[in-house]
Structure 1
Amino acid sequence: MIAINNLTFEIGSRALYDEANWHIKPGDKVGLIGANGTGKSTLLKLIVGDYAPTSGSISMAKDLKIGYLNQDLLSYHSDKSILHVAMEAFARQNQLHAEIEILLQKLETDYSDDILNKLSDRQMEFEALDGYNIEFRAHEILAGLGFSEDEQQRPLATFSGGWRMRVMLARILLQTPDILLLDEPTNHLDLPSIKWLETYLQGFEGAIVIVSHDRYFLDRIINKTVESRKGKLNLYAGNYTFYLEEKSLREEIQGNQFKNQQAKIKQEEKLIERFRAKASKAKMVQSRIKALDKMEKIDDVDDDNPVVNFSFKFSKPSGRHVVTIEHLSKSYPNLEILDDTDALIEKGDKIALIGANGKGKSTLLRIVADADDEFEGTSLKGHNVSQTFFAQHQLEALHLENSLIQELQAFAPKHTETELRSILGCFLFTGDDVFKKIKVLSGGEKSRVALAKALTADANFLVLDEPTNHLDMASVNILIQALQQYEGTLIVVSHDRYFLDNVANKIWFIEDKEIKEYPGTYEEYEIWNSKRDLKSEPKKEKKPKAEPKKEKPAPTDDVKQTIQKKNRELNVLEQLMNTQEAEVKALELELANEDIYSDAVKLQEYTRNYNSAKATFEKTQAQWEELAEEIMGLES
């Protein structure tokens, strides 16, 4: 499908990829992973042709249809409805629809055969392309991504960046490409939409390459993992959990090989040193020196999983009741969020606040953090509660002229410089990075600094809004370790289920305008909630007994003969279908042959043959279905 051979891509003097290889086969569902800065998004841009390789090649069939979701799509602007924007995926159907409308208008005054023939041709093609169902399909996918019927009629320009990205995702999915390249597709989705997308991608028949830091999402979709590391692409034949296990095994083997080789090298060096001065042993010594020089050295295993080596410090513990919420009501124009609800946050609680976007999570979090005072009822802090609040808007509180280390030292003077450098290292700021001015950082880098700053606060209560945004998997693991060690209280909003499952001991969700609580982990909550959903499904009413059917009149001899004739035709079509289906499967196997997909000319030829055979089979299948329905109609 796509063959990447000896790919080298340089940025300045740095080789992001150095003779990397990877073959993407039909049906592959791949997670492309790696630390930030290893070139994952760059590789997707290389595949679609936005960037050109320094050397090597990326080959694919010319008619390969690629659907590419990336953060650059946020710049797309339109004043048309999001339903219209999503339906732009159906370029040919839209063109045919416009032509049919024009022909129908002409037909009001011109009844010529030319107009009638053109109209008939356009309508047949429109129907063959399933044109009458495209609006329904667009509605269905937009609804799955969280858009209500009313919202689907609103202009794209009226939505925020995250919601616009969902529309772009819907448009790509509606194109039904041969391969989907998805760069952080869950970044702007809430939990219900992520689960919907998981289900959709599990049933997607084409190939998929996903760049994501959401390990639960990857585990539920991918069947292969490719790690971008040190300029190479390393393939693992399983999902993300399999990758972790397999990588650990590979590193254990590599570590043992390294130790054995180092022991052998030391033994040889001792031998050489011992006999270097003896003339009688000079030939043997030189032979061993040459052998050592030629030896292919095994690298030691790099530790890609740093651990937290700083501790949270707060000067005083809180009282038992951290936040008490009573008779809380909150509404916006035309939208009621909470109505006369109560809740309690106790010392030691680690609460995950979950739910769909628009249900009031961020609103409730701001009320808890004292960042919103326009509500009815009370939200009161308890004895000795000291709080820090992390949200994306906290970036504005950073002092732009400070270096990273200065910003943290001014905020957390009780921590040593070693501790502060350690926490900055956890969030990908190493070496001289800590002396950079905050004003030169990107938005994502500023977010990481703000999070590091929040974790060094003298606070026994943390309020965290989407803290895992802009973090890679290693940094998410660091944050998990940090919060597991934290002896205070916290409440967090996040759509990263792995993070929530490893941090939270209670789940809050808003239902019927009330704050509801589940006393357990996120995984336990999911099991409980799925059982609850099953119980709440309406039971199907028993159908009343049908009245005895009246006997049908026996078919006439003419009808019997017609049925027999059509059954013979059906058998012929069925045998033809079996032959054609076997041909399609044989061509699929050939496409998976490395000798073919690594040769651009052969790949193009075999892909063309495969597409032609598949189209022929589908046409025969349609004829068989039409004839079968006709026979059933005659028999009824």
Structure 2
Amino acid sequence: MIAINDLTFLIGSRALYDEANWHIKPGERIGLIGANGTGKSTLLKIIVGEYQPSSGTVSMSKDIKIGYLNQDLLSYDSHHSILHVAMEAFERQNQLHDEIEILLKKIETDYSEETLNKLSDKQMEFEALDGYNIEYRANEILAGLGFSAEDQHRPLNTFSGGWRMRVMLAKILLQSPDILLLDEPTNHMDLPSIKWLETYLNSFEGAIVIVSHDRYFLDRIVNRIVESRKGKLTTYAGNYSFYLEEKALREEIQKGEFKNQQAKIKQEERLIERFKAKASKAKMAQSRMKALDKLERVEDVDNDNPTVNFRFKFSKPSGRHVVRLEHVYKSYPAIDILADADGVIEKGDKIALIGANGKGKSTLLRIIAGTESFEGMCETGHNVSTTFFAQHQLESLHLENSILEELQAFAPKHTDTELRSILGCFLFSGDDVFKKIRVLSGGEKSRVALAKSLTTDSNFLILDEPTNHLDIQSVNILIQALQQYEGTFIAVSHDRYFLDNVANKIWFIEGQNIQEYPGTYQEYEEWQARRAKTGDQGGIKPAKAQKPKKEAPKPSELEERKKQLKKLNQQLQTLEEEISQKEQNLKDIEGEIAQEAVFSDATKLKDANERYAKAKESLGAAQLHWEELAEEIMVLEND
């Protein structure tokens, strides 16, 4: 179908591809993967002819029809309705429709046989091309991608970039191409639309090449993975999960081959060194040296899956209740989002907020963050410190700072080594950390902002689409970081693998209220499937904590409560100073244990270890007492 042979593509002096080979066969469903910057999008542009290879060939049959979705289509603009734009896919049908209209007008005055025959021929061709059903097909695909019947008659230029991209995808799907090239098709899509697209692509009869960071999407669609790495294209016969297993196996074999070859090389080098000075053996040594030079070397395995090697730091834990929402009302002119909604976020909650676009997920996050007006009450609990990550907040980055300076100013408690490690996880390595913020692309700025969020001193994170612009490796880094995070967070994302690996509760907006499923995303999906079949509501509950109604306190009780609060706050302050001293004591003992005079002396080491265990236990008891006091203060403040 498409044959790529000995492809080389140079960017300046750097070879993005170096004699790479790849054959795409009819009906194959391929996931094209690789780290950001390895040339996945560039390769698709080479296939469609937008870029020309430096050397090598890309060959295909002349009549092959390619449907190509890429992020450049976001710039497409039109005052026509999105239904009209989607139906532009039917070029021949639209042409015939216009010609038939002209002939029908002509036949009102011209009854000649020639005119009648032309009309008949055009109508027959139009019917053969299923022209009478093209509007229905366009309606069906646009509806699947999340557009209501009213939306379909709105002009394209009234929609945001993400929704315009869906219209472009609808147009491409309606063209019924022989091969689909899809570059990040799930970007800006909500979960219902992603699921619809999965169903559609699974029934698509042509070949598919998908670039995506959504590994669940890849697992459900593709039967082959092609990895772009170090200028080469390596094929794996299976979906993404199979690729991970197969790659690990191949790397294990490669490690063994490398180790054996290195041992053989060292043995040969020793023999050459030993005999090259002897006249009788010099010829043999020379022969072995030539053979060694010609040996095809096995490369060692590079680990390009970075792991998190930093810890979140926040100075104070929050109280039990992090956020309480009561009787919240929020609406826009065209839609009601929340009506008398309640919810509570408790310490340690890892919440995934999911649902279709337009249901109010980002609005709810802004309400919780205190950046959105609403009616009702949203109360932050005791000692809660918040960081809000959202794409539109990229303008808060300081343009004249370097990337490293931006993080240094935001997280002074972290060392430069820790900050560079975090930036390395988000694809800023070496001298990249000295780039000015003003020269970065939108995606790079997003990664900087996310890296900043991970260095925060906050014990509560609000994350709106944090996986946008991240490749699979970076998503894995974010997952590892959030799994280590001991605070509380709520996140909106359409990446199901991400949600399944970080969330312990699911929130969704239904009936203009906040509903909660107390489990993982996979458990929620299984429950939703049962619910769709049987109408079973088991497991669902309002996302709120029930509080018994209390009578208003008497004036004397209020005075007593104020005195008690003052006393408890004084105790809390004293305890915080004590905890600080205990933490310093623990560090001092750790430093003592690291001294050679101590760890090399069994008696001193035993004594130091015993003191360390007691100090750690004492610190833990003090921290527990602090939480109890903080909880007691919060209860008194809220009564």
TM-score normalised by structure 1 residue count: 0.83
Q: How does 1:195-344 map to 2 (within 5 A)?
A: 195-344=195-344
Q: Deviations over 1:550-598 (max 9, x none)?
A: xxxxxxxxxxxxxxxxxxxxxxxxxxxxxxxxxxxxxxxxxxxxxxxxx
1:110 positional shift:
1.3
1:134 aligns with 2:159: no
1:24 corresponding residue in structure 2: 24
Q: Distance in 1 between matches of 2:224 and 2:280?
A: 58
1:441 positional shift:
0.7
1:66 corresponding residue in structure 2: 66
1:410 aligns with 2:409: yes
1:292 positional shift:
1.5
Secondary structure at 1:319's aligned position in 2? coil
2:92 corresponding residue in structure 1: 92
1:268 positional shift:
1.7
1:594 corresponding residue in structure 2: none
1:146 corresponding residue in structure 2: 146
1:416 positional shift:
0.6
Q: Deviations over 1:192-242 (max 9, x none)?
A: 000000000000000000000000001100011100111111111111111
1:346 positional shift:
0.5
1:350 aligns with 2:377: no
Q: Deviations over 1:31-74 (max 9, x none)?
A: 00001111100011001100111111111111100000011111
Q: Deviations over 1:419-469 (max 9, x none)?
A: 000000000000011111111111110110000001101100000000011
Q: How does 1:466-481 map to 2 (within 5 A)?
A: 466-481=465-480
1:270 positional shift:
2.1
Q: Deviations over 1:322-377 (max 9, x none)?
A: 001111111111311111111110000000000000000000010111111x2111
Q: Deviations over 1:306-326 (max 9, x none)?
A: 110111000000000000111
Q: How does 1:107-118 map to 2 (within 5 A)?
A: 107-118=107-118
Q: Percent identity?
A: 80
1:515 corresponding residue in structure 2: 514
Q: How does 1:426-575 map to 2 (within 5 A)?
A: 426-536=425-535
One-letter amino acid of the counterpart of residue 211, structure 2: V
Q: Distance in 1 between matches of 2:370 and 2:104?
A: 62
Q: Distance in 2 between matches of 1:348 and 1:38?
A: 38
1:624 corresponding residue in structure 2: none
One-letter amino acid of the counterpart of residue 297, structure 1: R
1:420 aligns with 2:419: yes
**CA RMSD between the two structures:** 0.9
Aligned residue pair count: 536
1:108 positional shift:
1.1
1:279 positional shift:
2.9
Q: Distance in 2 between matches of 1:72 and 1:411?
A: 34
Q: Distance in 2 between matches of 1:60 and 1:292?
A: 42
Q: Distance in 2 between matches of 1:395 and 1:188?
A: 17
One-letter amino acid of the counterpart of residue 503, structure 2: A
Q: Distance in 2 between matches of 1:158 and 1:322?
A: 38
1:107 positional shift:
1.2
Q: Deviations over 1:164-210 (max 9, x none)?
A: 11000000000000000000000021000000000000000000000
1:525 positional shift:
0.5
Q: Distance in 2 between matches of 1:220 and 1:98?
A: 41
One-letter amino acid of the counterpart of residue 527, structure 1: E
Q: Deviations over 1:526-568 (max 9, x none)?
A: 001111011139xxxxxxxxxxxxxxxxxxxxxxxxxxxxxxx
One-letter amino acid of the counterpart of residue 70, structure 1: N
1:115 positional shift:
1.0
Secondary structure at 1:68's aligned position in 2? strand
1:191 aligns with 2:185: no
Q: Deviations over 1:379-407 (max 9, x none)?
A: 11000000000001221111111111111
Secondary structure at 1:279's aligned position in 2? coil
Secondary structure at 2:88's aligned position in 1? helix
Secondary structure at 1:146's aligned position in 2? coil
One-letter amino acid of the counterpart of residue 427, structure 1: F
Q: Distance in 1 between matches of 2:49 and 2:378?
A: 54
Q: Distance in 2 between matches of 1:9 and 1:266?
A: 36
Q: Distance in 2 between matches of 1:334 and 1:297?
A: 66
Q: Distance in 2 between matches of 1:334 and 1:178?
A: 41
One-letter amino acid of the counterpart of residue 95, structure 2: Q
1:278 positional shift:
2.9
Q: Distance in 2 between matches of 1:114 and 1:269?
A: 90
1:36 corresponding residue in structure 2: 36
1:273 positional shift:
2.5
Secondary structure at 2:412's aligned position in 1? coil
Q: Distance in 2 between matches of 1:117 and 1:268?
A: 87
Q: Which runs of 5 or more structure 1 residues have no equivalent in the other structure?
A: 538-636
Q: Report which stretch shifted further, 265-274 or 234-243.
A: 265-274
2:359 corresponding residue in structure 1: 359
2:582 corresponding residue in structure 1: none
1:632 corresponding residue in structure 2: none
Q: How does 1:351-390 map to 2 (within 5 A)?
A: 351-372=351-372, 374-390=373-389
1:15 corresponding residue in structure 2: 15
One-letter amino acid of the counterpart of residue 419, structure 1: E
Q: Distance in 1 between matches of 2:479 and 2:75?
A: 33
Secondary structure at 2:292's aligned position in 1? helix
Q: Distance in 1 between matches of 2:285 and 2:149?
A: 83
One-letter amino acid of the counterpart of residue 351, structure 1: I
Q: Distance in 2 between matches of 1:334 and 1:444?
A: 31
Q: Distance in 1 between matches of 2:418 and 2:200?
A: 45
Secondary structure at 1:314's aligned position in 2? coil
Q: Distance in 2 between matches of 1:195 and 1:17?
A: 34
1:274 positional shift:
2.8
One-letter amino acid of the counterpart of residue 151, structure 1: D
One-letter amino acid of the counterpart of residue 495, structure 1: H
Q: Distance in 1 between matches of 2:50 and 2:288?
A: 51
Secondary structure at 2:303's aligned position in 1? coil
Q: Distance in 2 between matches of 1:271 and 1:334?
A: 83
1:166 aligns with 2:166: yes
One-letter amino acid of the counterpart of residue 352, structure 1: A
Q: Report which stretch shifted further, 318-327 or 101-110.
A: 101-110
Q: Distance in 2 between matches of 1:276 and 1:286?
A: 7
Secondary structure at 1:280's aligned position in 2? coil
One-letter amino acid of the counterpart of residue 266, structure 1: K
Q: Report which stretch shifted further, 528-537 or 195-204.
A: 528-537
1:271 positional shift:
2.3
